[in-house]
Amino acid sequence: MDKDSSGDVVPDKPVKIGVQDGKLASVTVADSKGDAIPGTLDAATGTWTPSSPFGVGLNYTLRASATTPGHNGRPATQQVNFTVETPGKALELDSITPAKGAVVGVAMPISIVFSHPVADSAKASVEKQLKVTTSPAVTGSWHWFGDERVDWRPQQFWKSGTHVTVDANLNGVNDGNGRYGTHNYEHGFTIGSDVEAVSDTASHKLNVYQDGKLVRSLAADSGKAGFSTWGGTMAVIDKQPVVEMTSCSVGIQCDKNGPNYYDLKLPWDVHLTDSGTYVHYSTGDTDPGLDNNSHGCIHLSLDDAKWFYDFVKQGDPVTVKGEPKNAAPDNGYADYNLDWSQWVAGSALHS
């Protein structure tokens, strides 16, 4: 069987079996519980390939039968026990979002972030081990954002009440850069109420809907000239009761004497992009609904900001209309800013 330079069994390589003066007839592999491991035999080359990689640190038993001269045509059988050793470098996950057991909005993707880059050559084999099960069933796909993040979303928004399970069966999976998965991950969450918000920068309104019906229309201001609010659909990343907003932290201005410098602690902050877009109250916008004068955030009155903060949850979509450029799909969770054909093209299995 294949081993690496240290002599350990390689989790994702075929098992090679040599037969002298005979013909390989059958191969079976079982785990420590005696359960059969699926795989395919190529008798001509003497290789048996597991359908999925062997699990790191697990024990297996291989039984091989071959017909050889001197046994009256009866197969001779040999048994080998082996352990797949833990590699020096492990393929690990940095995070799976949303959190296990969470209740999220209808635009929330599944987002997996790896601790180290996955090689392009290994993305298909890694993606094949990422299983998404939903009830009811939906059409969806994975999409890679670079080498460390892969997201899964349905073709359309989720339906409320959908139960989602993610099985990242990564034990023994090679990332193409010398790392192997050492264990599997199971993750589940639920889709909550259908809450959607739509901001129209021209009309200075943020309309909030539940199950398709308008719940409340909020006076709102967006980005001023040169600081346009990102457009398109962004799922709520998270929310915080107070955030310190600084122009320097988002690359606008660090000179305290500059015209666009600010450093403010502001309440009721609903987070939309990694680049710093929020829906919130601002002391610098005393009368929301009159002028778009923010540095890219959506400003509400204090009462409306508190109401919106309490009403929305992670994964609820906020769609901004009337802006020149949409948020990049990986700027937070703006996954729906790609159409379905663009989304599927980002899968290593479909591209």
Q: Which residues are catalytic?
A: 280, 297
Our CA angle for 111, 115, 119, nearest 5°, is 90
Residue 17 vs residues 41, 63, 159, 254, 269: alpha-carbon distances, Å: 10, 10, 51, 66, 62
Query: Which residue type does 168 have?
Result: A
Calpha distance 101→188 (Å, rounded): 6
Do residues 273 and 297 make contact, with C-beta atoms less than 8 angstroms apart? no
- CA–CA distance, 105 with 336 (Å, rounded to integer): 13
Decide: 148 and 114 in contact? Cβ < 8 Å. Answer: yes
Contact 168, 91 (CB under 8 A): no
Contact 129, 173 (CB under 8 A): yes
Tokens representing residue 205 in the block = 């309104």
C-alpha 351 chain-centroid distance: 18
